[in-house]
Structure 1
């Protein structure tokens, strides 16, 4: 009878120990090292959130600039074709064909400049998206450590967990997928094709 009552007594003792143990947040407040680490991590979380918001706003601004370059490209060529057509209609037939190389070169140089600007801005957008993804990954790792610290209290192994966080940041390898073609390449090819088409239309308008 005595041996059968021992398991129940052990369970009651373990339950009472768990109930008498202070809350993990109270344990952290009583431990200077854990309290300081929690404050540092919470402050770093705020900094990461601020950097994420800043990079998102910067990416939005870059995308607006790319849209403006798209609009300027088509507006420039459409306006130039209309002006060339109106000028050629007032001149004798074939008169403007001798000077067609001048607007053709201007159109070509402007097209190449806009294409280069679009390519540069899209590269900047891709680079900033990678930085944003890295900041989000750092935020997730830090949030996980903060949750573990609040959950375990003084049982949280500072050396082990902090070292694991540092290793996770240092050993993080960006996944690079080798692609022969990307969306930026197709955009560049499209604008180059449109530029060639505009050159042909310029020749047709001035010579016919």
Structure 2
């Protein structure tokens, strides 16, 4: 009789254990529960870092816009002042003093171009970090979803190792993808061309 009761109890417990929700199984297992808490906390930290980097990118882009405006505004005003001085002044600046405005223009252009290039490099660096954070968030989100879906069937060693290998593979791919030319190079060349064009206009205004 006792054997029959044990058999009945076992047959009852099996479907009960199978009917448990994966989240209930995780709550009953310390290792899975701790891992889920750690991953959820890491997801929150990643979201905070993503928001911070997006704010930094917006700030750098605003600074770049200000530099662009200042570059063209400076050269426009300097050319207007130079043209007005040479055409209306009783003692206009001669061609022999061409080096004075040319030197000022070159120094200012080099300073602004360096500042623009530095800000563009900063923007590119932050964008790379942002892409890494987003990729880490996607990988971690998949692992969290798998853990919530599978419960005790979730293989900790296998899944965590797969997550690490995915991160290392992504880092290796990022190091291999080196580009010889980028949009930042063309922007720099454009500003160099504008600076040279301003020098030519300066010579035309003073000497012709």
What interval of TM-score do these two structures reach, taking the shorter chain for normalisation?
Answer: 0.7 to 0.9
Contact 1:93 1:207 in 2 (8 A): no
Q: What 5-or-longer segments of structure 1 have no aligned partner?
A: 1-12
Residues 45-84 of structure 1 correspond to what in structure 2 (within 5 A)? 45-84=43-82
Distance in 2 (alpha carbons) for counterparts of 1:193 and 1:35? 61
Q: Is 1:42 equivalent to 2:43 in the alignment?
A: no
TM-score in terms of structure 2 length: 0.86
Distance in 1 (alpha carbons) for counterparts of 2:121 and 2:200? 30
- TM-superposed deviation, 1:93: 7.5
CA RMSD of superposed structures (Å): 2.0
Distance in 2 (alpha carbons) for counterparts of 1:185 and 1:50? 32
Distance in 2 (alpha carbons) for counterparts of 1:92 and 1:177? 61
- TM-superposed deviation, 1:155: 1.3
Q: Is 1:182 equivalent to 2:182 in the alignment?
A: yes
Contact 1:27 1:153 in 2 (8 A): yes
- TM-superposed deviation, 1:54: 0.6
Distance in 2 (alpha carbons) for counterparts of 1:166 and 1:49? 19
- TM-superposed deviation, 1:20: 4.7
- TM-superposed deviation, 1:87: 1.3
Contact 1:94 1:207 in 2 (8 A): no
Contact 2:85 2:92 in 1 (8 A): no
Give the aligned length.
Answer: 194
Q: What 5-or-longer segments of structure 2 have no aligned partner?
A: 1-10
Q: Is 1:114 equivalent to 2:112 in the alignment?
A: yes
